[in-house]
Structure 1
Amino acid sequence: MNKDLSNPYRELPSVERLISDPQVLVKTKTLPKEVTLEVARKTINSARKIIASGNEPLTYEKIQKRLLSELDRFRKIAWPQEVINGTGVIIHTNLGRSPLSEEAQVSVKSVLQNYNALEIDLQTGTRGDRYNKISELFNLLVGADESLVVNNNASALMLSLSSVAFGKEVIISRSESVEIGGGFRIPDVLNQSGAKLVEVGTTNRTYISDYEEAINENTGAILTVHLSNFKVVGFTSNPTTEEISTLGEKYDLPVIQDLGSGCILDTSKYGLSKEPTPQDSVESGIPITCFSGDKLLGGPQCGIISGTNSFISKIKKHPLTRALRVDKITLAALHSTLLHYINGEVEEKIPIWKMISMPLEKIEKRAYYLAKEIGEIATVTDSFSTIGGGSLPGETIHSKSLRINCESINGGANSLSQHLRNAPTPVIGKIENEHILFDPRTVFVNQDEILLQSISYALKASQKNNESI
C-alpha cells in the first residue's frame, strides 16, 4: 500500500508503536504504563505542532530521541535543580531567594527524619502551641509582645487586614498602593481581605492631615507599606511612622505596617541605606508589623506578624490562620535562623549576610584564581553586587567579577549562556556587551571548582557547535 506523502500527519507513529520500541521499553520497564503513555502522547503532540506550524516534520528517529530525552528528564533530574548563582544578585527570587545556613539545613533534616515536639509541651505532656518558641525569639529580637508565622508576607498582610478591618475602610497613601511582585498588588490583597481601600494624598506627596481627613465611623485601620522594591525620589513627602502611630492612637485605630524585606540588622553598617526594621516599628508604637522571612532575614519563605498581644491574639483566632499556617519544616529552619541573631553570629552563619559582608579582597582573589584557570578569554573586572528580592532598591556593593569574552565563540554570549544553563550543574551569569560576568560574591566558596567545570563544559559544547557548522 502506498503511503500518503501529501499528508505528513499520517507519518507520525502511533502511541503504541512508540512505547513498544525496544529502546523505549528499556527506559520504561520500571515506570507505570500510564506515565509512559502520557509522555508518549505529549511527544507525538509536540511533533504534530511542528507540522502545523509549517516546519519540516520530525523523522521517527527524532521523535523517538525526544521521547527518550523526556523520560530521562522526568526520571533523573531533581527539581528544583541546584544552580550556581553568578549574577551578583544576593537575594535572587528566580533562584530561590535566601539559601539557608548549615544549622538550618540540619534542623530541617532532623524534623523530616524524626517525630518531633511540634505541638506538645514536654514539661506538662499537654498539647502545646507550634508558634510559642518562634514567638519568644522574635519578641527578644524586635521587642514585640507576640508574633505569628504564616506562609508568606502577602498572607501576613491579608490575614492582618481581614482580622481587624473586615467590611471596613483601610486608609493608605496613594504612593504606597503598589505592586509587590509577581503581579500581586496591594489593592488586590486588600480587597481579598474584605476591607475597602481608601487612598489619600498624591503619588509623590502625602501628609498626616490627608490621613486624618479620611477617618470616619467606617474606618477600620490605617495601612503603611514600605517601598522595598523601588524608590520615589525628588519632590516627595510622607509622614513618619511615629506620626502615623500617634494618629492611630488618637482615633483608637490599628496601624498595620508592611515592611516587606524583614531586615533586623542595621544595613548602614555595610555601606547601604538604612532599611526600616521591625524594631523601629515596635518602638514607634505600631501594633501590627508584617515582614518576610526569606529576604533580608535570611530564613525560609514565610511571613511574620509581630505586634501587641491584643491584636496578635485576635489574628491568631481568625479562621484563615489555620489555612495559612506553616509546617514543621519552615518552623525548624526559621528557629535555627533566629538563633544566629540571638548568638551574634549572623555574618558567620547566614549565607546572604556572609555574602553582603564578604571583603572585596577575598572576592578579587577568587576571581583572579578562576580567570587564571580558564585562560586567555577570562579577565577580572570591577562590578557591583545588588541585594535583590525586593530589598534595598538601587543599592549596590562594589565587587569584582570573572569576565569571559564571548566574541570568538559561535553564537556569542547568548549561546555560551545557554550551554552554561545546560551544564551538569547549571550556571546563571550576567551578560554585558558580548561578555559573561560571574560575581564570586554570590558563588559559594565550595562551588568554585564546580563553576570551573561548568564553564569548561559550556566552552567545549560551544566548540563542538562551531565544528559542526
Structure 2
Amino acid sequence: MADLLDLRALPSIDQMLNAPDAAPLLERHGRAVVTEQLRSLLAEIRQAVRDGGGALPQIDDVFASLLCRLDYRSRSNLRPLFNLTGTVLHTNLGRALLAEEAIAAAVDAMREAAALELDLDTGKRGERDSHLRMLLCELTGAEDATVVNNNAAAVLIALATVGEGREAIVSRGELIEIGGAFRMPDIMKRAGVRLVEVGTTNRTHPRDYRKAIGPDTALILKVHTSNYRIEGFTAEVPGAELAVIAREAGVVLLNDLGSGTLVDLSRYGLAREPTVREAVADGADLVTFSGDKLLGGPQAGFIVGRRDLIAEINRNPLKRALRLDKIRIAALASTLKLYRDPDRLAARLPTLRMLTRREGEIRAQAERLRPQLARLLEKHGFTVEICACRSQVGSGALPVDTLPSAGLRILGERGTNLERLAAALRALARPVIGRLGDGALILDLRCLADEAGFLESLSQVSGHGLA
C-alpha cells in the first residue's frame, strides 16, 4: 500500500510537461521527443519502486535525469575530439583539418545561394568544375583538370574512360591495397579494365612494359606506393621513362600519386614526396591524387592532364554520380589558393602546421600540461609522466617516416585499468583519443592546439566511470 501511495504522488506526464523546468527542454528537443523520454523514465521509476528500489525521487532529480537522457540522445558521435594518437592524418578521425579560409568559404556556400553552375559573365549555365580548373592547372602545369569525390573514384573513372574493355599494364610491385581492404585490381575490374601484371614484387624493368604492350593495351598505370615501401634489391621504372614507352606505343600513361602533394615537402623539413607538377612534367597523360591528405583540404579526388582525356572523363556518365557539391568545391578552391603563397603555407594550412611542429615546442607543451593532468588523474590511481614520441603522417603518406614528438605517458597504479581510462576519455563531451601500448596510455601532443579546451574536457572525466 505504501508503494501504491508513493506512485500516486508521482506527477503525471502532462503535469511535468507544463512545469517551468520543462520549458527549456521542450524548446531544445521538441515536445514529441521530451514526451517519449519522460514516459520511459517515469515507467522505470515506477518499476523500481515496485521492485523495492526505495522512495520516489524528488521532481528536481527527475528533471535532471531527463536532461541527461535528452542530451545523450541528441549528442552526435560525429563530434569534435582531441586527436592525440600521434597520427596527423588519421583516417578514422577525419584526416585533414581545414584552413580557416576554407571553413569560411564552406560556411558562406552553406548559408547563401552560390553561382555553382552559373557563368556570371554570360548569364548562361556554367560548369561546377570551373571554380577549380584554373587553380589546378596553375598549380600543376597541366592542360586541364577535373574533380570527383575521392582519389579511388578518380582512378575508377579515369580507368573506365580510357581503358574499358581493354588492358592496363601495372607493375606487380604497385598493386596496392588501400584502407578498408580496397585493392587496385578490384578497382580495375569494376572499371572494366583487364589487368596485365608485369615484373616482380621488388623489380620491374622497362623491357617488362614493352613486352606486355599489345593491340588490346589501352594504358600503362603507374601507382605511387605511398602507403608502404619496398627496400633493398629493388627497381622501378620512373614516370619520365614510362611516358616515353607509352608515347612510342600510342597508349595512355596514368600516374596515380595517391596522397599527392602540390609542393616539395622537403622545404619544410619533411621527407620528399613526388609532386603533381613533377608527374605532369615527366609526361603523364593523366595524374590522380587526393584532396584530404597531404594537400590538406576536404575529401576529393583530382584528375589533371591532357585536355582531350579530361574532356572524355567529364562526358562519362559516372562523372555525375561522383561529382562534388558546392560546399566542398568552395572549401577546395580556398585551400588551393593558399598554395599560391608557399612561404606562408605552413602557418595557414593546419595539416602542414602540425606536421612541421618542432619537438622542443611540443615538449614544452607537455611540461605545461603534465602537473595539471596529474592532479586530475592521481586520485583515480594514475600517474603521468612526459615521454618522447614518434608521430606519423598517416593516411598512407610517408609510411616509413616518423616525426620526433613528445607527449604524456599515463600509467596505472596497483593494476588500475588503462582500458577503463581510455573508455572514459572517449565518453567525454569532447573525447580525448590517445593510443594504448607498452602498459601505458600515450597522449601524443603534436596535434593539440587548444590546451584550455583539453584541460576543460579532462576535468569532466570523473563523471565517466572513474569515480
Question: TM range, normalised to the smaller chain?
Answer: 0.7 to 0.9
CA RMSD of aligned residues (A): 2.9
Cα shift readout 1:200-248 (whole Å, capped 9, x = no counterpart): 1111111111111111111111111111111111121111111111111
- In 2, distance between residues paired with 1:211 and 1:23? 77
Between the aligned residues of both structures, percent identity stands at 37
Code of the aligned partner of 1:152: N
Q: Secondary structure at the match of 2:219?
A: strand
TM-score, normalised by the number of residues in structure 1: 0.83
Give the partner amino acid of 1:415: R
Q: In the TM superposition, what are the counterparts of 1:94-173 in structure 2 within 5 Å?
A: 94-173=92-171
Equivalent residue, structure 2, for 1:213: 211
Is this contact kept in 2: 1:272–1:396, CA < 8 A? no
- Distance in 1, matches of 2:69 and 2:228, equals 41
The aligned counterpart of 1:184 is 182
Structure-2 change in CA distance of 1:178 and 1:121 (3 Å): same
User: Gaps spanning 5+ residues in structure 2: where?
Assistant: 1-12, 45-50, 54-61, 376-382
Offset at 1:372?
2.4
Contact 1:360–1:398 (8 Å) recurs in 2 = yes
Mark the CA change 1:272 to 1:217 in structure 2 (over 3 Å): closer, same or farther: same
User: CA 1:68/1:454 → structure 2, altered by over 3 Å: closer, same or farther?
Assistant: closer
Tell me the equivalent position of 2:353.
354
Offset at residue 175 of structure 1 (A): 1.2
Structure 1 residues 30 and 454: CA distance shift in structure 2, 3 A: closer
C-alpha change, 1:198 and 1:108, in structure 2 (3 Å) is same
Taking the aligned partners of 1:160 and 1:24, their CA distance within structure 2 comes to 59
Cα deviations by residue, 1:31-60 (Å, 9 ceiling, x for unpaired): 658x969x98xxx9xxxxxxxxxxxxxx99
2:200 aligned residue: 202
Partner residue in 2 for 1:423: 428
Deviations 1:288-327 (A, max 9, x none): 0000000000000010001011111111111111111101
SS of equivalent to 2:244? helix
Structure 1 residues 256 and 31 mapped into 2: Cα distance closer, same or farther (>3 Å)? farther
Structure 2 match to 1:13: none
Over 3 Å counting, the alpha-carbon distance change for 1:141 and 1:231 in structure 2 is same
SS at match of 2:459: helix
With over 3 angstroms needed to count, the CA separation of the structure-2 counterparts of 1:71 and 1:460, relative to structure 1, is closer
Q: Counterparts of 1:24 and 1:165 in 2: how far apart (Å)?
A: 65
2:428, 2:464 within 8 Å by CA — same for their partners in 1? no
Match among 410, 413, 416 for residue 410 of structure 1:
416
CA contact (8 A) 1:165 1:221 kept: yes
Q: 1:278 aligns with which of 261, 276, 279?
A: 276
> Is the contact between residue 243 and residue 282 of structure 2 (CA under 8 Å) also seen in structure 1?
yes
Partner residue in 2 for 1:434: 439
Amino acid at match of 2:458: I
- Structure 1 segments unaligned to the other structure (5+ residues): 1-19, 45-58, 465-469
1:22 to 1:333, Cα distance in 2 relative to 1, 3 A: same
CA contact (8 A) 2:427 2:464 kept: no
Give the structure 1 partner of residue 452 of structure 2.
449
Is 1:386 the equivalent of 2:392?
Answer: yes
What is the CA–CA distance in structure 2 between the aligned matches of 1:414 and 1:450, rounded to whole Å? 23
For residue 441 of structure 1, what is the amino acid of its counterpart? R
**How many angstroms apart in 2 are the aligned matches of 1:36 and 1:139?**
56
In the alignment, structure 1 residue 398 sits paired with structure 2 residue 404: yes
CA distance in 1, matches of 2:204, 2:445: 42
Aligned to 1:74: 73
- Aligned 8 A contact 1:86 1:443 in 2: yes
What CA deviation, in whole Å up to 9, does each residue of 1:55-93 have, x standing for no partner? Answer: xxxx999xx999997764332x13411110011111010
SS in 1 for 2:289: strand
| Helix, strand or coil at the partner of 2:236 | coil
Which deviates the most, 113-122 or 286-295?
Answer: 113-122
Q: Which amino acid aligns with 1:115?
A: A
Q: CA deviation at 1:147?
A: 0.8
Cα separation, partners in 2 of 1:81 and 1:23, compared to 1, 3 Å: farther
Secondary structure of the structure 1 residue equivalent to 2:339: helix
Counterpart Cα distance in 2 of 1:408 and 1:255? 61
Give the equivalent residue in structure 2 for 1:253: 251
Structure 2 match to 1:232: 230
Aligned residue identity for 1:186: M
Classify 1:124/1:165 alpha carbon distance in 2 versus 1 (closer, same or farther; 3 Å): same
User: How far did residue 435 of structure 1 move?
Assistant: 2.2
Structure 1 residues 23 and 379, CA gap change in structure 2 (3 angstroms): farther
1:360 touches 1:399 (CA, 8 Å); kept in 2?
Answer: yes
Deviation at 1:123, TM superposition (A): 1.8
Maintained 8 Å contact 2:269/2:356: no
Tell whether 2:372 aligns with 1:373.
yes
Q: Is the Cα–Cα contact under 8 Å of residues 144 and 310 in structure 2 kept in the other structure?
A: yes
SS in 2 for 1:364: helix
Task: Report the residue type matching 1:371 in the other structure.
Answer: R
> 2-side partners of 1:207 and 1:401: how far apart?
45
Shift of residue 271, structure 1, vs aligned partner: 4.0
Distance 1:370 1:463 in 2: 20
AA paired with 2:399?
Answer: P
Q: Is the Cα contact below 8 Å between 1:410 and 1:463 reproduced in 2?
A: no
Q: Does structure 2 conserve the Cα–Cα contact (< 8 Å) formed by 1:300 and 1:333? A: yes
Structure 2 equivalent of residue 10 of structure 1:
none
Query: Match of 2:446, SS?
Result: helix
CA separation of 1:23/1:185 partners in 2, compared to 1, >3 Å: closer, same or farther? farther
Is the Cα contact below 8 Å between 2:424 and 2:466 reproduced in 1? no
Mean alpha-carbon deviation: is it higher for 448-457 or for 144-153?
448-457
Write out the 4+ residue segments of structure 1 that deviate beyond 6 Å after TM superposition: 20-29, 64-70
Q: 1:462 to 1:123 in 2, by over 3 A?
A: same
Normalising by the residue count of structure 2, what TM-score does the alignment of the two structures yield?
A: 0.84
1:327 partner letter: D
Give the secondary-structure state (helix, strand or coil) at the position aligned to 1:182: helix
CA distance in 2, matches of 1:396, 1:293: 22
